[in-house]
Amino acid sequence: MLVCVRYLVVGAGGHAEEVAWSLVEHERARGESPEAVFFDDVRPPGPLSSGLGAIAGPLDAVADYADRRATLLVLGVGLPRLKQRLVARLAPLGLSWATVVHPRAIVGPNVEIGPGSYVAAGAIVTVNVRLGAFVTVNLHAQVAHDGIVDAYATLHPNARVAGNVRVGEAAELGTGAIVLPGLTVGAGTVLGAGAVALEALEDGVTYVGAPARPVHRRARRPA
């Protein structure tokens, strides 16, 4: 018997559709029939061109669809700071967040994946890895053995994290970025597309190039 689970997807851009596609593929492989409803503050209501569902309205409309008996939230955005803002905004609803792993991702033994996280098609998470809550491991990105990726961090497509690396909270690794073994990427740090980290990266700094070099420190918000 097919079980219909309603998923409320936060965001309706291309990334959100990829996450929803991964979710649908995963649930169908388990013999379930998911329903995806999208919410976006910018895009108008209506069906999505992918056919994965329709935009029901802005994020404020999520509360109207929140049947907790068969409803989970799905994070359809990938930028760390935006993820943090949206999760905080929806926290008063008290709904749980789905963890989405595409069936064609490779996830090894002794891997922990936190709630609200997304592991995309072609991604590889090897062994003894811990992914925190709301982590994004995008298409063909890799996290090697004994890695730790803290909450809200994002690995964009084809990013490579070698063994024994820690990626700090809300850090962002650009497309094709590489972090060598045993290093630490600081909280809130950005490693640009194609950059190669040969040494530890400080908190809140943007790095580019190969080898990676600092560009600027991200301004701290006033307390």
What confidence tens digit (pLDDT) does each residue in 184-204 have?
Answer: 999 999 999 999 999 999 999
The average pLDDT across 65-70 equals 71
The average pLDDT across 68-83 equals 90
**Would you kindly state where each structural domain of the chain is located, as residue ranges?**
4-98, 101-211
CA dist., res. 126 & res. 181, Å (int):
14
- Residue 29, judged by CB atoms within 10 A of its CB (0-12, 13-18, 19+), counts as exposed
- Residue 221 is given by DSSP the state P
pLDDT band at 69 (very low <50, low <70, confident <90, very high): low
The average pLDDT across 114-129 equals 98
Instruction: Show Cβ contacts of residue 132 under 8 Å, excluding neighbours closer than 6 positions.
Output: 114, 117, 148, 149, 150, 151, 152, 153, 169
Please give the helix or strand (H or E) that residue 23 lies within, else none. Answer: helix 14-29
* pLDDT exceeds 90 at position 27: no
Q: Which CATH architecture has domain 4-98?
A: 3-Layer(aba) Sandwich (3.40)
**Domain 101-211, CATH homologous superfamily name and number:** Hexapeptide repeat proteins (2.160.10.10)
Enter the tokens of residue 60.
Answer: 């404020």
- Please give the pLDDT value at position 6: 83
